Amino acid sequence: MPLRTSVGIVGAGPAGLLLAQLLHRAGVDAVVLEARNRDYVEHRQRAGLLEQGTVDVLRSAGAAARLDREGLVHEGIELRFDRRSHRVDFPSLADGRRVTVYAQTEIVKDLIALRLEAGAPLLFEAVAQEIVDIDTERPVIRYFHDDAERTLECDFVVACDGFHGIGRQTVPEDALTTYSREYPFAWLGILADVPPSCEELIYARHERGFALHSMRSEHVSRLYLQVAPDDRVENWPDERIWEELELRFAVRGDWKLHRGPITEKGITPMRGFVAEPMRHGRLFLAGDAAHIVPPTGAKGLNLAAADVTLLARALGDWYAHADEAGLDAYSERALRRVWRAQHFSNWMTTMLHPDPREDAFSARLHLAQLEYVAASVAGSTMLAENYTGLPME
């Protein structure tokens, strides 16, 4: 068991694993601690829509061989409202940028395989219990692994352990400012063993609620329905789900929704959250440990990738040149992108989701905004630029 490392990383999700891979390529050693077992981590279902910049980072990290073979490149999305359809073309509006559908579970599998092939430390079922001495030059992670309490001394600690992890909880309360927003609806998400009914994602606003048609692969569809936050999966038998999806996606014309066996159902709450700053002493926060965005704009995974890209460069500069500028600027630079993504995600969410609390006047305002996006080059450009991802800083 390693007793000391340069960078201790808590969490083997996409953020922690990508950071470890980027550091490995830069010649900086790191140890990754993950509380769950490998099977759980490799099968944890999450969204998988990648901005152009995220794809580029994975390629630069040597982690895109399978992504380039199997990822589904999309050049636009379809907006549906008032039984009409409008396509937003990304390359023509966003300097040639596109997005790629590739499941997050597959990214995690690819990064785990690379780390294990390199013989680099990745400890599963290693439960971080405490991070101490973060205001010193030798912070320590105390963790439990193989039925024993252990310690890992580091130069730096990066918490990629999610919203409920110990990373953010380690920061003194008076040193952290948090912002949050709870949305008055949730998403019922399903996986279905049926080829997608569309070539690109469909975002639909209907008076009964929002719906999204996405995909995991050429043979598996991923679909979502807006539901109440306190709704239960048991209230949604398969037939009801398919009927509601057909109703919300309906357009004038002969488009048809393909049905198939539903293999997974789950309800996800909608919230926004930001913790500032994203650094305290030698402890850095990245990904969901620092921020949560509603999934409408597909920014969660991409923000995590942007965080660790900044951090990997900064740590590389520190080890190569004793240059602390990148580390000192990390929080400010990362938060600039985080708040841009929060704004875009909130804009997409409020425009596309009927709010059960809103009056008819507000509903008409959101429809007017959709009309503007569909009819205006400026409106479509704003959506395309943000959806495909602003350039990596």
Following DSSP, what letter does each residue of 93-151 receive, concatenated? HTTT--EEE--HHHHHHHHHHHHHHTT--EETT-EEEEEE-TTSSS-EEEEEETTEEEE
Question: How high is the pLDDT of residue 391?
Answer: 83
Residue 23, domain member (yes or no): yes
Q: Determine the average pLDDT of the residues in 81-108.
A: 95
Per-residue pLDDT band for 48 (boundaries 50, 70, 90) equals: confident
What is the average pLDDT value for the chain, to the nearest integer?
Answer: 96
**DSSP output for 141-210:** EEEEETTEEEEEEEEEEEE-S-TTSHHHHHS-GGG-EEEEEEEEEEEEEEEESS--SSSS-EEEEETTEE
Question: How high is the pLDDT of residue 346?
Answer: 96
Q: Which domain CATH number covers 317?
A: 3.50.50.60
Residue 161, domain member (yes or no): yes
User: 392 pLDDT exceeds 80?
Assistant: no
Q: Determine the average pLDDT of the residues in 64-71.
A: 96
For residue 22, what are the domain limits?
Answer: 4-74+98-180+271-348
Question: How high is the pLDDT of residue 254?
Answer: 86
Same domain (yes/no): 343, 378: no
User: 331 pLDDT exceeds 90?
Assistant: yes
Cα separations in angstroms, 344 against 35, 126, 197: 33, 36, 27
Each residue of 228-275: pLDDT tens digit? 999 999 999 999 999 999 999 999 988 999 999 999 999 999 999 999
Residue 84, domain member (yes or no): no
Between the CA atoms of 303, 290, 271 and 53, what dihedral angle is there, to the nearest 10 degrees? 0
Residue 88, domain member (yes or no): no
Question: How high is the pLDDT of residue 46?
Answer: 74
Q: Determine the average pLDDT of the residues in 10-31.
A: 97
Same domain (yes/no): 160, 295: yes
Same domain (yes/no): 144, 258: no
Question: Six-digit token pair at 247?
Answer: 């109703």
Question: How high is the pLDDT of residue 213?
Answer: 97
Question: How high is the pLDDT of residue 190?
Answer: 96
Q: Which domain CATH number covers 383?
A: 3.30.9.10
Residue 79, domain member (yes or no): no
| Active-site residue, 109 included | no
| Active-site residue, 206 included | no
Question: How high is the pLDDT of residue 302?
Answer: 97
Question: How high is the pLDDT of residue 2?
Answer: 82
Per-residue pLDDT band for 217 (boundaries 50, 70, 90) equals: confident
Each residue of 332-349: pLDDT tens digit? 999 999 999 999 999 999
Question: How high is the pLDDT of residue 320?
Answer: 96
E strand or H helix that includes residue 25? helix 14-25
Q: Determine the average pLDDT of the residues in 315-323.
A: 97
Same domain (yes/no): 8, 70: yes
Each residue of 99-120: pLDDT tens digit? 999 999 999 999 999 999 999 9
Contacts 24+ apart (CB under 8 A), 326-330: 327/279, 330/278, 330/279, 330/284
Per-residue pLDDT band for 45 (boundaries 50, 70, 90) equals: confident
User: 323 pLDDT exceeds 90?
Assistant: yes
Between the CA atoms of 60, 66, 69 and 72, what dihedral angle is there, to the nearest 10 degrees? -90
| Active-site residue, 366 included | no
Same domain (yes/no): 206, 226: yes
Per-residue pLDDT band for 1 (boundaries 50, 70, 90) equals: confident
Question: How high is the pLDDT of residue 232?
Answer: 97
Q: Which of 14, 24, 74, 102 is catalytic?
A: 74
Cα separations in angstroms, 46 against 14, 106, 107, 225, 320: 10, 10, 11, 16, 35
Q: Which of 295, 319, 353, 366 is catalytic?
A: 295
CA atoms within 13 A on the CB side of 140: 8
Q: Which of 143, 319, 330, 387 is catalytic?
A: 387
| Active-site residue, 102 included | no
User: 47 pLDDT exceeds 80?
Assistant: no
From 212, 226, 215, 211, select the one nearest 99 (Cα to Cα).
215
Q: What is the DSSP letter of 218?
A: S
User: 288 pLDDT exceeds 80?
Assistant: yes
Q: Which of 24, 206, 213, 299 is catalytic?
A: 299
Q: What residue has token string 């704004």?
A: 343
Q: Which of 102, 143, 203, 224 is catalytic?
A: 203
